[in-house]
Copies of this chain bind each other. A is one copy, B any other.
Amino acid sequence: MADLEALAGRVRAAIPLTRHLVFRYTGFDGDALTLAAPLAPNHNDKGTFFAGSQVALLTLAGWSCTTLIAEAVIAGTDDPGRAVDVVAVEGSQQYRLPLKDDLTVTACPAPGQRERFNERLIRRGKATLTVQARATNPAGDTVCEFQGLYLARLVD
């Protein structure tokens, strides 16, 4: 969890809005990243989880997952000190259920993406990754599905 705590600190320091989303990372197994956020600071006019908060958290989860995977790729090379910069390229989301509770997000690369991403990032210094993410309620039901495309670049 040390990497996650460090990433959370970087994100909260560098991206002010994320402090108001009151998110916390809850796990990363090298492939899937999870985060959680409470309803209280993220409710809407209906007392349910604001769509804008959901999509901001899903976008952040995809970015975080891509960043950790890219950093792990670089850490395994002969020049492991290089920094990686990740940006969102596109995204889409489908809201399935209203949520009157706290939110959990799970984000991981789409099937078959990892090998190509790793190889291109090392060979070309940049690569895109398609990430799939789900927002779920405490019962595990999907409340929002998200697909995002992210671009990772080595920083000179």
Q: In the complex the two chains form, is A87's CB within 8 Å of B91's CB?
A: no
Q: In the complex the two chains form, is B50's CB within 8 Å of A17's CB?
A: yes
Within 8 Å by CB of A92, from B18, B52, B91, B95, lies B91
Q: Copies per complex?
A: 2
Within 8 Å by CB of A42, from B11, B14, B16, B87, lies B16
Closest to A56 in B: B52
Count A interface residues, CB 8 Å.
36
Within 8 Å by CB of A51, from B10, B63, B85, B98, lies B63
Q: In the complex the two chains form, is B18's CB within 8 Å of A20's CB?
A: no
| Contact of A52 with B50 at beta-carbon distance under 8 Å, contacts A88-B95, A95-B89 already known | no
Apart from A15-B45, A52-B60: 15 A-B pairs, beta carbons within 8 A: A11-B45, A14-B44, A15-B43, A16-B41, A16-B42, A17-B17, A17-B50, A21-B52, A55-B55, A55-B59, A55-B91, A89-B95, A90-B92, A90-B94, A90-B95
